[in-house]
Amino acid sequence: MESAQLLNLTTFAYLASAILYVAILIFGTKNKTMGLIATLVTMGALLLSTMGILLRWNEAFKLGFGYYAPFSNMYESLVFFAWCIALGYLVLEYIYKNQTLGAFAMPFAFVAQAFAEYWPQWNQDLRPLLPALQSNWLIAHVIASFIGYAAFAIAFGMAVMYLAKARNVDRSGNPDGTGLFATLPPLKVIDDVIYKTIFFGFVLFTVGGLIFGAIWANSAWGTYWSWDPKETWSLITWFVYAATLHVRYTRGWSGKKIAWLAVLGFFSTVFTYYGVNFLLSGLHSYG
Amino acid sequence: MTKERNQVWRLFASVKLALWLITLLAASSILGTIIPQHKAPEYYIQEYGSELARLFQVMDIVPNMYGSWWFVALLVLFSINLIVCSLDRLPNTWRMVVLDNLETTPERLQKMPLKAEMQINEEPAAAGERVRRLLAAAGWKTAARDKEGGVLLFSQKGAWSRLGAYIIHISILIIFIGALTGSVFGYKASIMFPEGETVEHLFDRKTGQPIPLGFRLHCENFTIGYYPNNMVRDYRSDVIIIDPEMFAEPLRTSIRVNHPLKHRGLTFYQSSYQPLNEFLIKVQNTKTGLERTAMVSPRHQVTWEEEGVVFGVTDTMADRMGRVHEFRIWFDSPGADPSTFGMKDKQNVTVQRPEADYSFYVQQRYATGLQVAKDPGVWIVYLGCGLMILGLYVAFMITHRRVWAYLSPADNGGSKLLLCGGSNRNKASFDQRFKELAQRLRQDQAIN
């Protein structure tokens, strides 16, 4: 078995998981078997992806690449991004014991993975690391940044969920929502999930994305901060989430306002991750 | 304090201003990523037309917006805002940290968000001792005080975590101070010098002016390492530091990408290289062991008089970077007619002649390009980063949790226990822990 096949299979496993969670959302959470299958399929997808990533690492080792990290280009980083979302979602499901969250999280894992596998722009070939990328800070920087990105993606999914339910509540006048909105967690709980995933992502993104990134840049190029577009956009993203946390703490914002900030923050995240590489030029052109 | 000063202070102490400044900083930062920075004036005229280019110039958006007076002014305002905001709120927070929680009254305890009431069949003093032991066993070490005929016990965890936000704010300021230190007392410079040469000066990246190194740096060798698929794996400069004041012996070391060399407050980074049109040839008579090394240019011959041998490079095959892969060597020795043969870079080839075998080695000469940074602020920046990590941990992961137990005399000669508590965040998880604690107390035979 090659890593490419495993990672390709992962795409379908994520798709199956996403479809199952959407089905659970539509048909309700009463069918326990379907719930169990959804969780197992998600775990299976995560396992496939983990094996794919490890196998790819091993293949690089066998090809004589020496120092390698399977997070070194856009393709690999998308695969890892999807992995982080799937893991993050499973953790949420475990904590909140609510499977309706899955319909707003697993589709992102599928989209990221499918984007990695089927977008013609990426080179999926295993290529050795450029000298500048051979650093332990790279591993730390990328892993922490992507866990952060995944948390922001989940916060975005939860924000969409919140806004949809809030709209239904406003229109129906029923504080618990009507129809399938009634099966979603209470607004207060969704608000809590949004806020917690944002602060978790914020910590990881600050430490991994900004601080480890700065240390790595300093050891490779001799400047810890050069206002390169990628750096600048990660700072902008950081500002958005820092502002979100501050309005929550000091001005007591919650609910719809925080949900909209989570949406804004995620757009900024996507631009930092993807947009900068293709619309702007800079040092960070590898991913 | 005058009223005016008070208003200025209030402005800078407002989170509203902070949010505006953050929005402005973010919005203007976007501008600098859309309009490329550090380009020549002609670039902007070509891309945006002369009028827009002039406007950008006047507004200081190009060539370096992030160093422009107005962007720096925004950062300064942001720093002042950060300092004033923190100073304004610190006293209140500090009061919460050092608050004497035994000063509270039973009435106020009744209003706490988490409460549990129990009966104990002992008088308050003995019951207090019992509850103290039970709480200590559950991990809550209490302080006690007599209060209105009863006993009040109090325990808290993570009170200082309320300072986390201030640690983060201070860390941002420390990072700014580090960046300022670096830009005032440091510089960026570069040097490019060939293998076999020694330098004593750097050239400032901005002004191009020479800067004395204070020691000598010699480049022995520059090597490009390749992966099996011919992609570049490594750039390495083997250098010697000649600095009698620091080392009695010259120090041999190397500089690689991601592995800079540090010496005397300077950091040397491998950043570029230049293949030269000069080749080092080593010829050895394998019978006598005699050897001759020469640096040759293409189509210049070298005579080795002791052996009566003449050699040179007649032709080279280079890639577009100027890296030579193959050499054509011309060779003449007394025993036979002149001949030419091909060989690759850094390879040995032996040529057989009637009088002896000659071993050839050829290597292209390279110049190495180093970036040099003097940044005395970098450690301050790293200190700030470390403090920020600590602050984030304290602010987000540690919760200030408080538990009170008030024992008052009951009519039956026993006592009433009021257990109450609260936390400043993670309320749901503290709720759970509080319930478990109450449960634990109820398991005691004297309590129900």
Q: Is B106 in the same domain as B232? A: no
The bridge status of strand B302-304 relative to strand B143-147 is: unpaired
- A190 CB neighbours in chain B (<8 A) are none
More confident residue, A277 or A206: A206
Q: C-alpha B322: how far from its chain's center?
A: 35
Residues 267-286 of B with CB under 8 A from A: 267, 269-271
Q: CB distance B33–A131 less than 8 Å? A: no
Task: State both tokens at A23.
Answer: 């089905």
Distance CA A13, CA A11 (A): 5
**Are A192 and A59 within one domain?**
no
> B43 — contact with chain A (CB < 8 Å)?
no
Residues A189 and A108 placed together within one structural domain of the fold: no
Query: For chain A, what is the radius of gyration of the CA atoms?
Result: 19
Domain co-membership, A119 together with A187? no
* A20 pLDDT more than 50: yes
Domain co-membership, B283 together with B427: no
Which residues of chain A from 242 to 271 reach within 8 Å of chain B, CB to CB? 242-243, 246-247, 249-251
Predicted TM-score (pTM) of this structure: 0.89
Note down the domain range covering A7: 1-71+97-126
Task: Identify any residues that bridge with B104 across adjacent strands, giving them in sequence order.
Answer: none
- What are B290-312's pLDDT values in tens digits? 999 999 998 888 998 888 889 99
Please state the rounded mean pLDDT for residues A17-28.
Answer: 92
Contact between residue A131 and residue B257 where contact means Cβ atoms under 8 Å apart = yes
Q: Are residues B228 and B200 in the same domain?
A: yes
How close B96 gets to chain A, by Cα (Å)? 16
Per-residue pLDDT tens over the stretch A38-73: 999 999 999 999 999 999 999 988 888 888 888 888
Do B244 and B314 sit in the same domain of this protein? no
Which chain A residue's Cα is nearest to B271?
Answer: A221
Which member of B18, B388, B396 has the closest CB to residue A246? B18
So what's the pLDDT on residue B406?
94
Nearest to B404 by CA among B93, B110, B98: B110
Per-residue pLDDT tens for B363-402? 999 999 999 999 999 999 999 999 999 999 998 889 999 9
* DSSP per-residue codes, B199-225: EEEEEETTT--EEEEEEEEEEEEEEEE
Look-up of token digits 């500002």: A239
Does residue B386 form part of some domain? no
Same domain assignment for residues B86 and B103? no
Q: Which residue type sits at A193?
A: V
Structural domain contains residue B383: no
Strands B302-304 and B309-318: antiparallel
Is residue A18 in some structural domain? Answer: yes
Tell me whether strands B198-204 and B114-120 are parallel, antiparallel or unpaired: unpaired
Residues B241 and B359 in one domain: no
Q: Do B26 and A225 touch (CB under 8 A)?
A: no
Regarding whether A47 and A33 lie in a shared domain, the answer is yes
Chain A residue with minimum CA distance to B235: A131
Of A127, A214, A235, the CB nearest to B29: A235
CA dist., res. A253 & res. B9, Å (int)? 24
How far is Cα B273 from Cα B366, in angstroms, rounded to an integer? Answer: 7
CA distance A76 to A70: 6
Within this chain, do residues A117 and A181 fall inside the same structural domain, yes or no?
no
Chain A within 8 Å of B265 (Cβ-Cβ)? no
Q: Report the residue of chain B nearest A203, measured CA to CA.
A: B392
Domain shared by A117 and A152, yes or no: no
pLDDT in tens, B257-269: 999 999 999 999 9
| For chain B, percent of residues with pLDDT exceeding 70 | 99
Chain B contact for A220 (CB, 8 A cutoff): yes
- For B:134-193, CB contacts with A below 8 A are 165, 179, 188
Q: Is residue B224 part of a domain?
A: yes
pLDDT, residue B262, reads 94
Buried b (16+ CB within 10 A) or exposed e, B279-315: bbbebbbeeeeeebebbbeeeeebebeebebebbbee
Q: What is the pLDDT of residue A205?
A: 97
In a domain, B169, yes or no: no
Instruction: Kindly report, residue by residue over A209-267, the tens digit of the pLDDT.
Output: 999 999 999 998 889 998 988 999 999 999 999 999 999 888 888 899 999 999 999 99
Please judge whether A242 and B22 are an interchain contact, meaning their C-beta atoms are less than 8 angstroms apart.
Answer: yes
CB within 8 Å of chain B, chain A residues 100-159? 127-128, 130-132, 134-135
Residue ranges of E strands in B227-322: 232-242, 251-256, 261-263, 266-285, 291-296, 302-304, 309-318
Do residues B267 and B280 share a domain? Answer: no
State the residue for tokens 């969704």: A190
Task: List the single residue in A with minimal CA-CA distance to B429.
Answer: A95
Count of all residues that appear for chain B in the document: 448
Is residue A103 in some structural domain?
yes
Q: B156 near B400, Cβ under 8 Å?
A: yes
Whether residue A189 sits in one domain with residue A118: no
C-alpha A253/C-alpha B19 separation (Å) is 13
Let me know whether B51 and B123 are in one domain: no
| Mean pLDDT (chain A, rounded) | 91
Q: What is the pLDDT of residues B102-129, one digit of tens each?
A: 998 888 998 988 999 999 988 888 999 9
B2 pLDDT higher than 70: no
**Amino acid, single-letter form, for residue A213:** G
Residues B20-24 have a mean pLDDT of: 94
Both B230 and B373 in one domain: the answer is: yes
As a whole number, the mean pLDDT across chain B is 91
Nearest to residue A158, comparing CAs of A265, A262, A19? A262
Q: Tokens for B13? A: 């102490």
Q: Domain range holding B281?
A: 276-364
pLDDT confidence band for B240 (50 / 70 / 90): very high
CB atoms near residue B244 (< 10 Å): 10
Helix (H) or strand (E) holding A164: helix A136-172
The residues facing B203 across adjacent strands are B190, B210
- Per-residue pLDDT averaged across B410-433, rounded? 88
Nearest C-alpha of chain B: how many angstroms from A139?
Answer: 14
- The helix/strand/coil state of B413 is coil
Assess whether B19 and B52 both reside in one domain.
yes
| Residues B314 and B336 both lie in one domain | yes
Q: Give bridge partners of residue B367 from the DSSP assignment.
A: B194, B274
CB contact under 8 A, A64 and B235: no
Please indicate, yes or no, if residue A84 is contained in any of the structural domains. Answer: no
What's the domain count of chain B?
Answer: 4
Is B154 within 8 Å of B402 (Cβ atoms)?
Answer: yes
Residue A92 lies in a domain: no
Q: Is residue A281 very low, low, confident or very high in pLDDT (cuts 50, 70, 90)?
A: low
Name which of B232, B258, B396 is nearest A220 (Cβ-Cβ): B258
Q: What would the two tokens of residue B282 be?
A: 């080593």
pLDDT (0 to 100) of residue B308:
86
Residues 6+ away with beta carbon under 8 Å from A269: A149, A152, A153, A237
**The pLDDT of residue B3 is above 80:** no
Q: Is B238 within a domain?
A: yes
> 292-321 in B: which are within 8 Å (CB) of A?
none
Please check whether residues A146 and A287 belong to one and the same domain.
yes
Residue A87 resides in a domain? no
Give CA–CA dist B415/B418, Å, rounded: 10
A80 domain-assigned:
no
Q: In this structure, are A6 and A108 located in the same domain?
A: yes
* Contacting residues of B for A131, CB less than 8 Å apart: 232-235, 256-258, 270
Q: Which residues of A touch B378 (CB under 8 A)?
A: 218, 224
Within a domain: residue A89? no
pLDDT tens figures, B190-234:
999 999 999 999 999 888 899 999 999 999 999 999 888 888 899
Q: Is 80 exceeded by the pLDDT of residue A1? A: no
Other CB atoms closer than 10 Å to residue A96's CB: what's the count? 16
Q: How far is B440 from chain A (nearest CA, A)?
A: 24
Contact yes or no for A61/A68 (Cβ under 8 A): yes
Question: Which residue do the tokens 């939860």 mark?
Answer: A158
Q: Is residue B174 part of a domain?
A: no
Give the Cα separation of A240 and B277 in Å (integer). Answer: 53
B70 with B119, same domain?
no
Q: What does the pLDDT average to over B73-101?
A: 93
pLDDT band per the 50, 70, 90 thresholds, residue A287: very low
Residue B342 belongs to some domain of the structure: yes
Measure CB to CB from residue B258 to each of A66, A128, A219 and give the nearest one: A219
Same domain membership, residue A223 and residue A285? yes
In the stretch 59-98 of chain A, residues with CB closer than 8 A to chain B read 63-66
Compare all CA atoms of chain B with the CA of A200 and give the residue at the minimum distance.
B396
Banded model confidence at residue B1, pLDDT cuts 50, 70, 90: low
Domain count, chain A: 2
> Does B231 contact chain A (CB < 8 Å)?
yes
- Amino acid at site B395: A
Cis peptide before B63 (omega within 30 of 0): yes
Please tell me the distance from the alpha carbon of residue A165 to that of residue A159, in angstroms, as a whole number.
10
Residues A173 and A119 both lie in one domain: no
Tell me whether residue A85 is in a domain.
no
Considering the domain architecture, whether residues A159 and A183 belong to the same structural domain is answered as yes
Chain B residues close to A221, C-beta within 8 Å:
269, 271, 371
